[in-house]
Structure 1
Amino acid sequence: MSEHIIEALGKSRITIKDGKVIDVTEPEVEYCPLFDHHRGIKKLTKEVIEKNIQFRIDDFGMCTPERQLRMKDFLSFGISEIMCTLLDENAIDSVVMVLEGCGTIIVTEPELVQGIGGRVSGLVKTSPIPELIPEIGKENIVNPETAEINQIEGIKLAISKGFKNIAVTITLAEDADGIEKLREENPDVNIYVFVVHTTKKTAEEARKLFDICDVTTGCSSKHIREIGEKESIKTVGQSIPIFAHTEDGKKFLEMRLDRIGGEKPKKDNPDLPYPLI
């Protein structure tokens, strides 16, 4: 039996078994401008979330053996889109990310990064989907037998395979210490940190994540946004801002902006998630 747990759409926790949504918790965020603008969703409810997740399962096979893994760049501005550009421009040589059915993986193809990261929200837990493993390659999966999610082990695997410019997506503040250690132990390797799914991080977690990151999303995070507004050296977006904490992060955002033709005009009163938590 295949079981997967994701956090999405207002910090709701969704459990999927064998291609069906079996449990949805109450969302903690009522309104997300992304889902309003793209899907016309004015209020996040359990019913709306279940319908949206089931649509993803039916549309591109999320959390099933039919999962479509590749997707072309569609010129928006998000973490997976930024990393696609960085691979295209040879600014990085690999991405350590997470895929349902495989857990932590190493990816080097831009269309795989987009198809994996651009389609699924925060993956909390997953179990092996044997049909997907050959698509990624056993040698590029931290633990194909268990589909373990472990970004530190993912970075170690990438280093062992000889990659020197590694991007990694993280959600957990507890990964910060392990990344610092790997940076110290591997001075010839660049480890670029992209923080995702930051909603409901505590002040302490937000501080730790911002300090370790090159780039982070604001999501519906009260604390990440507060830090980012004061300390970001480059910010793109208003409703869901993306903050750069380092010069490398700033360069990465600018590379993506160059690819999509620059920033959109700023709004006087941008739509924001509600509430920020």
Structure 2
Amino acid sequence: MSEHIIEALGLSKITIKDGKVVDVTEPEVEYCPLFDHHRGIKKLTKEVIAENIQFRIDDFGMCTANRQLRMKDFLNFGISEIMCTLLDENVIDSVVMVLEGCGTVIVTEPELVQGIGGRVSGLVKTSPIPELIPKIGEENILDPENAGINQIEGIELAIKKGFKNIAVTITLASDADGIKKLKEENPDVNIYVFVVHTSKRSAEDARKLFDVCDVATGCASKNMREIGYNESLKTVGQSIPIFSKTEDGKRFLEMRLEKIGGEKPKKDNPDLPYPLI
């Protein structure tokens, strides 16, 4: 049986088995401006979340053997889009990210990065989907037998494969020490850290994540937003801000802005997630 657990839409935990939503927990965020803007969702409820996730399963095969893996750049501003630009510009040569049915994977094509990361975030647990493995390449999957998720080991695999400019997406503060260690042990390798899915991070975890990152998204995180607005070298976006901790991170945001024609005018009263947690 194929089972996948994701956190999405207001930090609800959704369980998907064999292409069907079988469990949805109560969301902790009532309102998300992204889902209002793109899907017209004014209030996140268990019923609305189940409907949206089932739509994704039916539309592009999320968590199934029919998963569409590639997606073109729609000139949005998000973490996947930034990494696509960096691949296009040869600033990075690989991305360590997470895909349903495969777990931790190494990706080198912009359309794969967008198709994987732009469609699903907050993957907590997954199980192998054999049909997807050859599409990514078994050699590019950390643990094809179990679809294990381990971003530190994913970076180690990318280094072993000879990549020198590696982007990695992380959600866990516990990865921070491992990344610092890998940077010390591999001074000839650039490891660029993109922190995603930051809602409900404790003050301590938000601190660890921000300190290790180049770029981080604010999501509905009270603590990450507080740190980011105080310390970010450059911030893009208002409803869902994206922060840069390093000069590299700042450069990455500027490169993406240049590609999409600059930043949109700022609003006096932008829509924000509610509540921030």
Structure 1 length normalisation: TM-score? 1.00
Mapped pair 1:96 → 2:96: yes
Distance 2:191 2:54 in 1: 35
Equivalence for 2:157: 157
Q: For residues 202-232 of structure 1, what are the alpha-carbon distances to aligned partners after superposition, in whole Å with 9 as ceiling and x for unaligned?
A: 0000000000000000000000000000000
SS at structure 2 position matched to 1:251: helix
SS at structure 2 position matched to 1:98: strand
SS at structure 2 position matched to 1:124: strand
Distance 1:180 1:121 in 2: 24
Equivalence for 1:49: 49
How many angstroms does 1:187 deviate by?
0.2
Amino acid of the residue matched to residue 189 of structure 2? V
Distance 1:31 1:253 in 2: 26
Amino acid of the residue matched to residue 16 of structure 1? I
Over aligned residue pairs, what C-alpha RMSD do you find? 0.3
Equivalence for 2:193: 193
Equivalence for 1:33: 33
Distance 2:170 2:213 in 1: 9
**Structure 2 unpaired stretches of 5+:** none
How many angstroms does 1:104 deviate by?
0.1
Distance 1:275 1:77 in 2: 23
Equivalence for 1:83: 83
Distance 1:254 1:95 in 2: 19
Equivalence for 1:138: 138
Equivalence for 2:213: 213
SS at structure 2 position matched to 1:265: coil
Mapped pair 1:180 → 2:180: yes
Amino acid of the residue matched to residue 144 of structure 1? P
SS at structure 1 position matched to 2:97: strand
Distance 2:43 2:149 in 1: 31
Structure 2 length normalisation: TM-score? 1.00
Q: For residues 117-164 of structure 1, what are the alpha-carbon distances to aligned partners after superposition, in whole Å with 9 as ceiling and x for unaligned?
A: 000121000000000000000000000000000000000000000000
SS at structure 1 position matched to 2:68: coil
SS at structure 1 position matched to 2:169: strand
Distance 1:23 1:90 in 2: 41
SS at structure 2 position matched to 1:96: strand
SS at structure 1 position matched to 2:44: coil
Mapped pair 1:233 → 2:233: yes
How many angstroms does 1:181 deviate by?
0.2
Equivalence for 1:17: 17
Distance 2:261 2:139 in 1: 37
SS at structure 1 position matched to 2:5: strand
SS at structure 2 position matched to 1:191: strand
Distance 1:256 1:172 in 2: 25
* Identical counterparts, % of pairs: 86
SS at structure 2 position matched to 1:227: helix
Equivalence for 1:276: 276
Distance 2:154 2:258 in 1: 30
Amino acid of the residue matched to residue 143 of structure 2? N
Distance 1:82 1:21 in 2: 30
Amino acid of the residue matched to residue 202 of structure 2? T
Distance 2:5 2:174 in 1: 20
Amino acid of the residue matched to residue 11 of structure 2? K
Amino acid of the residue matched to residue 59 of structure 1? D
SS at structure 2 position matched to 1:264: coil
Q: For residues 176-214 of structure 1, what are the alpha-carbon distances to aligned partners after superposition, in whole Å with 9 as ceiling and x for unaligned?
A: 000000000000000000000000000000000000000
Mapped pair 1:250 → 2:250: yes
